[in-house]
Amino acid sequence: MPTQRQSPSARRFSGDPDPDDPLIGARLRYCLGQVEQRLVQALTSAGLTDIQTAHFKVLRFPPPENERPIDLAQRAGMSKQAMNYLLQQLEEMGYVQRVEMAGSLARLVSLTEKGWKVAEIQRATVHEIEREWALQIGAERFQTFYAVLKELTDG
């Protein structure tokens, strides 16, 4: 859900016919925010109360399986240092493990059994959200919406 500003900016977007429309990026972010909120609720209901939204940068699709921290950082659009901070937290909580590569100082990240439990809950929750959205806007419209998103992201 979008948050309303306490006071709108006096500065406007010159030539924009609807300067108060948040546009596609913000609307996608609002949808993602709804999904993340539901994921936290589902994980909390399952007793996994230590997962925070920031951890979804690691625990998102596709789940990490024998991946380098630098690759996870690039996929998440964050620094290697910030990713390592999240990985350390998740490792201490038992969701991921980092294993040294043979003959190298590099370590590969994978989910533990506890981490796979999170991935399963996340996937089931997102399927539930998709069903709810299909009911909300109609199955055909949702299928079209999903097909367009797929086309835009698979290319």
pLDDT at 91: 98
pLDDT at 8: 63
Q: Which DSSP string do the residues of 86-155 spell out, in sequence order?
A: HHHHHHHHTSEEEEEPTTSS-EEEEE-HHHHHHHHHHHHHHHHHHHHHHHHH-HHHHHHHHHHHHHHHH-
pLDDT at 106: 81
Give the C-alpha separation, 56 to 45, whole Å: 17
Give the C-alpha separation, 83 to 20, whole Å: 35
pLDDT at 16: 86
Which one, of 53, 66, 43, lies nearest residue 114 by Cα?
43
Give the C-alpha separation, 81 to 98, whole Å: 15
SS3 35: helix
pLDDT at 6: 63
pLDDT at 9: 63
Per-residue pLDDT of the chain (155 residues; tens, 9 = 90+): 556 666 666 567 888 888 888 899 999 999 999 999 999 999 999 999 999 999 999 999 999 999 999 999 999 999 999 999 999 999 999 999 999 888 777 899 999 999 999 999 999 999 999 999 999 999 999 999 999 999 999 97
pLDDT at 64: 96
The whole-model pTM stands at 0.86
pLDDT at 12: 77
Beta-bridge partners for 99? 108
